């Protein structure tokens, strides 16, 4: 297929996504899905029909694609056919796939403390502490500016988080002290520009990237001797779970995390160790019964 054949379609789809305010990340994912469908089809994607889409979805499954990738492709192709082409083929030819429900791996408070202690420097420790201490996503941490830290009200302003929503996150005294230490150190190094990023990259004009922050996390995890399969996002999971274990109301946690639905936050109740500890195992009851019988 030639660029001449695809370019007008690609441009139209990009314009349709821009009109609807899709993020750059979503746009890249949608375009990649249409590109993969085009390669499978062997001709211009607008020449495909619902049977081609059905075959493409089966091809993805046979190739070992994850449920998340398959569902992303469904969303992208439904948009391309339904919006950009004004056709309903994808709505008929493709179906969403049920994703397996997995519980997040949670670090104990002691493990989190050990990980933060092994962060390579003040800047790294402050960034990772924000992810855990305020429950921020990686993209939210690196997007913060110095002006987003409201020390008077003890809150952090998160602008245009997931779902393009603004919200306020909590700011504890300990976290504020750590951020102040980093701000002073950054000023001395000349990397804190007026109105600039809280965590500048190598060039202070640009912010640290999520990839850089992820590398910092994994380096600290390895240095701390933590062998659990965790990622940077685990710190957000730990924030929610540890608050729940402290008996913080789940509706408060919902607000702090910026979840639109309580059901999303309620997911963490399944990893609340406090709930599990409160239940006596039948084995424990059996042992107690035997001990009582011996005593009598």
- What digits encode the pLDDT tens for the residues 66-106? 999 999 999 999 999 999 999 998 888 899 988 777 778 88
Mean pLDDT for 245-250 is 84
Residue 8's nearest CA partner among 85, 90, 78 is 85
Residue 199's nearest CA partner among 213, 214, 215 is 213
Q: State the pLDDT at residue 227.
A: 95
CA distance 36 to 41: 9
CA distance 104 to 195: 36
Is 274 in a helix, a strand, or coil?
helix
109-275, CATH topology level: hpI Integrase; Chain A (1.10.443)
Q: Are 74 and 95 in contact (CB under 8 A)?
A: yes
Mean pLDDT for 209-238 is 95
**For a pLDDT cut of 90, what percent of the chain falls above it?**
64
User: 3-93 sits in which CATH class?
Assistant: mainly alpha
Decide which of 21 and 122 is more confident: 122
CA distance 132 to 121: 17
Positions marked active-site: 137, 162, 233, 236, 259, 268
Going from the C-alpha of 183 to that of each of 3, 196, 199, 210, the distances in angstroms are: 49, 11, 9, 20
DSSP-derived letter for residue 270 is G
Report residue 159: phi and psi, to 5°: -95, 130
Domain locations along the chain: 3-93, 109-275
Q: State the pLDDT at residue 4.
A: 47
Supply the mean pLDDT for the chain. 88
Confidence of residue 1 (pLDDT cuts 50, 70, 90): very low
Q: State the pLDDT at residue 63.
A: 95
Q: State the pLDDT at residue 3.
A: 45
CA distance 79 to 100: 24
For the segment 253-270, what is each residue's pLDDT rounded down to a tens digit?
888 888 777 777 777 766
DSSP-derived letter for residue 279 is S
Decide which of 286 and 175 is more confident: 175
Provide the edge-to-edge strand list for the sheet that holds 155-161. 149-150, 155-161, 165-170
For the segment 123-167, what is each residue's pLDDT rounded down to a tens digit?
999 999 999 999 999 999 999 999 999 999 999 999 865 656 788
Decide: pTM greater than 0.75: no
Place of tokens 């370019």: 7
Place of tokens 């084995």: 283
Residue 170's nearest CA partner among 159, 157, 152 is 157
86: exposed, middle or buried (Cβ count in 10 Å: 0-12, 13-18, 19+): exposed
Q: Are 120 and 157 in contact (CB under 8 A)?
A: no
**Cβ neighbours around 50 below 10 Å, total:** 16
Helix axes 122-133, 173-189, angle to 10 degrees: 150
Residue 239's nearest CA partner among 260, 256, 214 is 256
Inform me whether the pLDDT recorded for 2 exceeds 50.
Answer: no
Mean pLDDT for 177-182 is 96
The three-point CA angle 154-159-164 to 5° equals 140
Are 3-93 and 109-275 in the same CATH fold? no
Inform me whether the pLDDT recorded for 5 exceeds 50.
Answer: no
Place of tokens 């957000």: 236
Confidence of residue 206 (pLDDT cuts 50, 70, 90): very high
């Amino acid at each position: 297929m030639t660029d001449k054949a695809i370019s007008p379609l690609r441009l139209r789809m990009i314009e349709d996504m821009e009109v609807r305010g899709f993020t750059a990340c979503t746009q890249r994912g949608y375009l990649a899905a249409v590109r993969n469908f085009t390669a499978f089809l062997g001709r211009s994607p607008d020449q495909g029909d619902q049977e081609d889409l059905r075959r493409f979805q089966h091809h993805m499954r046979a190739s070992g694609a994850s449920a998340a990738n398959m569902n992303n492709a469904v969303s992208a192709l439904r948009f391309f056919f339904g919006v950009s082409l004004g056709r309903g083929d994808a709505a008929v030819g493709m179906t969403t796939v049920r994703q397996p429900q997995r519980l997040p791996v949670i670090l104990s408070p002691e493990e989190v403390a050990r990980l933060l202690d092994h962060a390579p420097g003040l800047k790294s420790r402050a960034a990772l502490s924000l992810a855990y201490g305020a429950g921020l996503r990686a993209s939210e941490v690196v997007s913060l500016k110095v002006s987003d830290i409201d020390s008077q009200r003890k809150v952090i302003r998160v602008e245009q988080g997931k779902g393009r929503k603004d919200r306020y996150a909590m700011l504890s005294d300990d976290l504020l002290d750590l951020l102040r230490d980093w701000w002073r150190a950054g000023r001395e190094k000349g990397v804190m520009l007026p109105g600039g990023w809280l965590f500048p990259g190598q060039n202070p004009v640009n912010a640290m990237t999520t990839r850089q922050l992820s590398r910092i996390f994994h380096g600290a995890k390895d240095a701390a001797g933590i062998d659990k399969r965790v990622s940077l996002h685990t710190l957000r999971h730990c924030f929610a779970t540890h608050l729940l274990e402290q008996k913080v109301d789940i509706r408060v946690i919902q607000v702090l995390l910026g979840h639109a639905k309580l059901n999303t936050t309620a997911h963490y109740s399944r990893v609340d160790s406090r709930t599990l500890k409160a239940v006596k195992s039948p084995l424990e009851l059996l042992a107690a019964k035997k001990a009582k019988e011996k005593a009598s």
